[in-house]
Chain A
Amino acid sequence: MDIDTLLHKYLNGEATVEEISQLKAHPEFASYLKIAEATRKFEAPNFMDAENLTAIQNSIKKQPKVRSINSLQRFMRIAALFAVVIATYVFVSNRDTKIVTQIAEHETFELPDHSEVTLNAMSKITFNKKDWKKERALTLEGEAFFKVEKGEKFQVNTPQGSVAVLGTQFNVYVRGHQFYVQCYEGLVSVNFNGNDIKVPAGSYAQIENNQLLALTKAEGTAPSWVDFESSFSEASLEAVLNELERQYPITVKNKTIAENKFTGSFTHKNLEVALRSICEPLQLEFKIDDDEVMLYAKNSN
Chain B
Amino acid sequence: MADNVCSETTFNKIYAQWGKPIYNFIYFKCGNEDQANDLVQEAFIKLWQHCTKVTQDKAKSFLYTVANNLFLNEVAHRKVVLKHAQLQPRKVDGQSPEYLLEEKQYQQKLQNAIANLTEAQRTAFLLNRIEGKKYTEIADILDISIKAVEKRMSQALAALRKEIEEL
Contacts and interface: CB of A to CB of B under 8 A. Distances in A.
Interface string A111-140: 000000000000000000000000000000
A59 B114 CA distance: 35
Interface string B149-160: 010011001001
Given A35-B110, A44-B36, A65-B48, 6 more contacts: A13-B132, A35-B161, A43-B82, A44-B82, A56-B48, A63-B49
Contacts of B82: 42-45
Nearest to B82: A42
Contacts of A52: 15, 19, 23, 37, 40-41, 44
A177 B42 CA distance: 85
B154 A41 contact: no
Contacts of A28: 161
From DSSP, what is the main secondary structure of chain B's interface residues? helix
Interface stretch (A66-74, A86-94, A247-255, A264-272): A66-74
Nearest to B150: A8
Q: Which of B12, B114, B153, B164 has the most CB of A within 10 A?
A: B153
Contacts of B20: 47, 49
Nearest to B48: A60
Interface of B: 6, 12, 15, 19-20, 23-24, 27-28, 33, 36-37, 40-41, 44-45, 48-53, 81-85, 88, 106-107, 110-111, 114, 125-126, 128-130, 132, 134-135, 150, 153-154, 157, 160-161, 164-165
Contacts of A70: 53
A7 interface: yes
Interface string A123-162: 0000000000000000000000000000000000000000
A40 B33 CA distance: 19
Contacts of B157: 7, 32, 35-36
A38 interface: yes
Given A39-B129, A44-B23, A67 B52 contact: yes
A28 B151 CA distance: 17
